[in-house]
Amino acid sequence: MSVERLSGQQRCRLSEILQHGLDQAALTLRMMLGGEVSIRIISPFLRPPGVCVRLGLTGALEGGLYLDLPEHMAVEMVKTLTAEQELSLLDEAARSALMELGNVLASVFVGYFDQSRGVRTLPTPPELSLVPQELPEFAGFFSAELSWSKCREKAEVLVGLQKSAIDILLA
């Protein structure tokens, strides 16, 4: 069933379930980046232009996770992770740091469902794009705003789910 066909109560329940996984991911990013990090589901998704780390989700919860960062925020995060002050997002080290950030986000997110529900899901290897990309078709998208106290800009985390994943989470 697609998200559009869900009742308001089912949509709300699904959003709450996904929010728990995003909360766990925010705690981990807070440890990596320092400062305060929050990831809160919003709607509709904004899809700002910027740096995008894409990961597929395979296993029980099929879908995808997208970390869409404004360029300035991406640079500041890389500086924090690598302790490099002069960098370019074209540098291999910077690209690797951003992909690892996306990998951690996705791994902790799906790990929450593995631990809390016994639903085994794995992220695919991350891909990085410096230009906006078309999103694949999913039964439903959930958008979350990522804020980091060390940067005024906000990023977006998109969670795309296939019908089977929605059914599993609502069961």
Tokens of 106: 């996705």
Distance (Å, rounded) from C-alpha 152 to C-alpha 18?
25
Report the candidate in 170, 65, 60 with the shortest Cα–Cα distance to residue 120. Answer: 60
pTM of the model: 0.84
- The 10 Å CB-count burial string (b at 16+, else e) for 77-99 is bbbbbeeeeeeebeeeebbebbb
Reported as a pLDDT band with limits 50, 70 and 90, residue 88 is confident
Distance (Å, rounded) from C-alpha 171 to C-alpha 77?
37
- Give me the domain span that covers residue 126: 3-170
Question: Higher-confidence residue: 53 or 89?
Answer: 53
Reported as a pLDDT band with limits 50, 70 and 90, residue 107 is very high
pLDDT at 42: 79
Are the C-beta atoms of residues 126 and 102 closer than 8 Å to each other?
yes
Over the stretch 33-86, which tens digit does the pLDDT of each residue have? 999 999 998 765 555 557 899 999 999 999 999 999 998 899 999 999 888 777
CATH number at residue 139: 3.40.1550.10
Tokens of 160: 């795309």
Stretch (H or E) spanning 146? strand 140-148
pLDDT at 154 over 50: yes
The region, left, alpha or beta by phi > 0 then psi within -120 to 50, assigned to residue 118 is left
Domain count, the chain: 1
Distance (Å, rounded) from C-alpha 105 to C-alpha 2?
25
Report the candidate in 54, 61, 39 with the shortest Cα–Cα distance to residue 140. Answer: 61
